[in-house]
Amino acid sequence: MRLDKFICKSTELSRTEARRVIHAGEIIVNGEIVTNEATQVHENNLITLAGRRLVARPSRYLMMHKPAGTLCSNVDGVYPSLFHRLDIDRADDLHIVGRLDADTTGLVLLTDDGRWSYHITHPDSGCNKVYRVTLRDSLTPDTAQLFNQGIRLQGEAKLTLPAQLESVTPTEVLLTIVEGRFHQVKRMFAAVGNKVVSLHREQIDQLRLDVPVGEWRHLTAEEVMSTSGQP
């Protein structure tokens, strides 16, 4: 990870304060003064500040049940940020793994581990995201096959990757996708002439949402490992 991030993860310093001590030449990495905050370091490196070895706090992994009318953002906008519900130390260090729209409900993952979130969100990882979708119009018989073949979203050249559609009722479906393009589910149904009325993410890979609306919990080490074999 970057040196400034490492300093934040191993001290109580903010990112700005971490950069100040780095620029001041107070950080020594494996015996050498390092003044570039972007230097890549490993947790096994011997990194000291004022002669004391710094040890990074372990990464954190959470699931939250996002209510409708909240924003997957660190700051408030038209709606309040999801972060208001996170009664946890240093919540600002966490980021959301694959945002949901303000009106979408369901499973949101949060972490400070960039590698883990990259793995979950990157389409090449093949990490499944399962959405329960309520539709305005009944599902047409060809939609599952079209979604499986790939859909051309408005304004995009590249087809969507194969998606699986399971009908629950004529107007309720479970859709499994591996990508996370902007408004992807809503745009997929728009592309076949339908409209999403409500959207709820209930699963990411092996992780099924199991906390009440608005609440959160830490993931277990097994859950973190099982999520696409990372970290």
Cis status, amide bond into 231, omega within 30 of 0: yes
121 sits near ligand URA (criterion: CB under 6 A): no
70 sits near ligand URA (criterion: CB under 6 A): no
Instruction: Of 209, 136, 146, 127, give the one whose Cα is nearest residue 173.
Output: 136
Q: What is the largest CA-CA distance in the chain?
A: 68
Nearer to ligand URA, 4 or 205 (CB): 205
Nearer to ligand URA, 22 or 71 (CB): 71
State in angstroms the smallest separation of the CB of 114 from ligand URA: 21
State in angstroms the smallest separation of the CB of 199 from ligand URA: 6
Burial per residue of 117-135, b for 16 or more beta-carbon CB atoms within 10 angstroms, e otherwise: bebbbeeebebebbbbbeb
Binding mask of the shown chain, residues 133 to 172, with x at each position contacting ligand URA by CB under 6 A: ----------------------------------------
Q: How many H helices and E strands in the chain?
A: 6, 13
Catalytic status, residue 101: yes
Among 186, 207, 216, 224, binds ligand URA (CB under 6 A): 186
- The torsion region of residue 205 among left (phi > 0), alpha (psi -120 to 50) and beta comes to left
Nearer to ligand URA, 94 or 100 (CB): 100
State in angstroms the smallest separation of the CB of 5 from ligand URA: 28
Instruction: State the amino acid at position 184 in one-letter form.
Output: Q
101 sits near ligand URA (criterion: CB under 6 A): yes
Contacts of 195 (CB under 8 A, 6+ apart): 135, 136, 137, 186, 189
10 sits near ligand URA (criterion: CB under 6 A): no
Going across the sheet that includes 47-49, the strands are 32-33, 27-29, 47-49, 52-53
Among 121, 184, 194, 227, binds ligand URA (CB under 6 A): 184
Among 90, 115, 183, 218, binds ligand URA (CB under 6 A): 183
Q: In the complex, which residues of this chain contact ligand URA (CB under 6 A)?
A: 100-101, 104, 183-186, 199
Active site residues: 101
